[in-house]
Amino acid sequence: MSTDAVGTTDATAAATSPDTVAGLGDPALLALVTARHQGVLATVKKDGRPQLSNVLYAWDAEAGVARVSVTADRAKTRNAARDPRVSLQVSAEDFWSYAVVEGDAELSAVALDPHDAAADELVETFRAASGSEHPDWEEFRRAMVADRRQVLRVRATRVYGMARLPQP
C-alpha cells in the first residue's frame, strides 16, 4: 500500500494482502463501504461498455455481500443476469475518498407473493439500506410484487480505492 503526497492511500495493492479483512481489501475501505448506503452500480452492457446506476445498498460486512433492490426488467438487472461481473462504487463525504467493490452478481427470484422468500429478502434489504422501518410493511410487500422486484447480491471478490489518511 502506498501513500501519495496529499495523504491518500492507494489500496489497490492491498486487496490480496493477508492482513486485510477477509482478504477483500484495506480495512479503511471496507469501513467506508459499511458506513455508506449510496453507491453507483456498474454492469456490463451487450456492447461491452459500462452501464451505471445510482443505487441504495445494504452491506453485509461478515459475508462480504452488497444487496440492492432491483426491478426485473431494468437494464442493470438484465445486464447482471447476462454477465455477472459488476462493481459498486461508494464515495465518501469528501468526494476524494472512495471504495470500489468488485464481484459477481447473483439475482434472487422475483417476488411473486407478498410473503415469499424474495419479498422477505427485499424487506431485510430495505431495513439494512435505509436504517429504518417502513410505515406499512404489507403495502411495501405488495409493491415489491407489483414492481417485479428482486435482490441483486454482489459477492465481493476485491475492494480497492482510496481512503484519506489522518493528518498529523
Decide: 40 and 86 in contact? Cβ < 8 Å: no
Q: Whole-prediction pTM value?
A: 0.84
Asked if residue 96 is part of any domain, the answer here is: yes
Asked if residue 168 is part of any domain, the answer here is: no
C-alpha cell at 82: 447476462
Bridge partners, residue 38, by sequence: 56
The rounded distance, in Å, linking the Cα atoms of 167 and 102 is 29
Asked if residue 109 is part of any domain, the answer here is: yes
pLDDT in tens, 112-144: 999 999 999 999 999 999 999 999 999 999 999
Q: What CATH number should be reported for the domain holding residue 133?
A: 2.30.110.10
pLDDT in tens, 73-118: 999 999 999 999 999 999 999 888 999 999 999 999 999 999 999 9
Tally of domains in the chain: 1
Domain range enclosing 95: 18-162
Asked if residue 7 is part of any domain, the answer here is: no
Residue 151: exposure state from Cβ atoms within 10 A (0-12, 13-18, ≥19): buried
Asked if residue 49 is part of any domain, the answer here is: yes
Asked if residue 150 is part of any domain, the answer here is: yes
Q: How far is CA 142 from the centre of its chain?
A: 24
Asked if residue 13 is part of any domain, the answer here is: no
Asked if residue 38 is part of any domain, the answer here is: yes
The percent of residues above 90 in pLDDT, for the chain, comes to 79
The rounded distance, in Å, linking the Cα atoms of 131 and 168 is 34
Smallest CA-to-CA distance from 151 within 60, 25, 45 is with: 60
